[in-house]
Amino acid sequence: MMNASRPRVAYLVSMKSGIHSFVFRELEELERHGLPFVLYPTKVGKGPYMPHSQWKLRRFGAGTLILGLAKSLVRRPRSLLRVLIEAARFRAWVDVALALDFSNHMEDEGITRIHCHFGDHKLFIGYFSGQMLDLPVSVTIHAYELYNNPNPRLFRHVLDRIGDVITISDYNRRVLEREYGVPPEKVHLIRLFTDKGLDEEPARSRSGPFTILIVSRFVEKKGHRTLFRAVARLRDPDVRLQVVGGGPLDLKSMVSRIGIQDKVEFLGKVPDDALKELYQGCDVFCLPSETPESGDKEGIPVVLMEAMAYGKPVIATRHAGIPEIVEEILIDEGDDEALAENIESLMNDRELGARLGENNRRIIREKYSSENVNALLRIFRRDDA
């Protein structure tokens, strides 16, 4: 049995704006199942999801670099030389710098496995740490790493050398196998899960304007322009679009150019309690994702899972892994006319919206529940067999 008194899994994450909500929920479930871990954040900042006080966390500082190098030279000179050669080959000096500090700390903590959430610098640091300590390394791949990886050569190199490659959608699994040559036996499909909404009673019919909700970063792949154009097509003036999130795109100027300022409400980034009310209060959730010129794509957006768990009808696109979760309504990327037509169908038939919403809750209960973490636990617990 696993010794629950000592941390065993090193978890490499980003905490640039706190922990990602889906990573936070995963860690809570692992803790609930008695799996000990230590967090190794590559970036640290404030956000809505911060580590619980009982979670162990290693902070990296500039002053630890020389100490990490010196310790590694004394403890594992041959491994250090091998890692430095790889760092030179792939121009990964920053990744190795963090790996030297992290690996010494991992050794002191009795770590037996390294898991990296996202296949970017977290994976590279985890891989070099694993090379230093001769430990198994696994990774959870989402989406952007497949299309806009910060070090594509090193990404392919690492995928070829680590053990378990986990991904969140069947679409991503096919990309990993066909385009990156990862053997099928190494790839595990473990879907994300949500604990929001399922315990809430679905909102009853209400009066007031028909409310459309979108929650996302302000980036091209989320399809805001398509949604704004669809809203401009709607014949019924009694409609409101609520936009939650932030990011580099100037969506307010876009709305002004399209001429729908009177129908759009920008709410910024909102806390969980406020977001819950927005999910409950909307009539339809729209996320018309599309592929921008950069080639970036979605995984399976968590906001779709959350809206569906609250029993809301959703309209999304035939994009990447989204058809794996949304059975209906799906439109083609960039098709604002079809989006407008489907919104109007829901405006004119509230019973249709209720039926779709209830079916969406069923999908989340059956395929996107916290039980999904059991598959991850089985991978981690192999190390104790």
The most confident of the ranges 41-45, 77-81, 136-140 is 136-140
Residue 203 in this model has a pLDDT that exceeds 80: no
Chain Cα centroid distance, residue 299: 8
> What pLDDT sits at residue 217?
95
pLDDT-based confidence at 195, cuts 50/70/90? confident
Residues of the chain with CATH 3.40.50.2000: 9-193+369-384, 210-367
> What pLDDT sits at residue 72?
79
Give the range among 62-66, 123-127, 266-270 with minimum mean pLDDT.
Answer: 62-66
**pLDDT digits over 216-268, tens only?**
999 999 999 999 999 999 988 899 999 999 999 999 999 999 999 999 999 99
CB distance 146 to 159 below 8 Å? no
**pLDDT digits over 48-58, tens only?**
899 999 999 99
Strand partners, 331: 317
Q: How many angstroms separate the Cα of 19 from the Cα of each of 13, 166, 259, 286, 368? A: 7, 19, 37, 25, 20
Dist. CA 268–CA 245, nearest whole Å: 5
**pLDDT digits over 2-37, tens only?**
344 445 899 999 999 999 999 999 999 999 999 999
Residue 270 in this model has a pLDDT that exceeds 50: yes
CATH node for 210-367? 3.40.50.2000
Stated pTM of the model: 0.90
**pLDDT digits over 76-118, tens only?**
888 999 999 999 999 999 999 999 999 999 999 999 999 999 9
pLDDT-based confidence at 179, cuts 50/70/90? very high
- Provide the CATH topology of domain 9-193+369-384: Rossmann fold (3.40.50)
Q: Minimal CA–CA distance to 306: which of 271, 342, 280, 345?
A: 280
The one-letter amino acid code at 88 reads A
Q: CB-based contacts of 297: which residues, under 8 Å, 6+ apart?
A: 143, 144, 146, 147, 221, 289, 291, 319, 320
> What pLDDT sits at residue 232?
97
Beta sheet of 264-268, edge-to-edge order: 264-268, 239-244, 210-215, 284-287, 314-317, 330-331
Dist. CA 370–CA 325, nearest whole Å: 16
% the chain with pLDDT above 70: 94
> What pLDDT sits at residue 3?
41
pLDDT-based confidence at 59, cuts 50/70/90? confident
Question: Phi then psi for 242, rounded to 5 degrees?
Answer: -100, 125
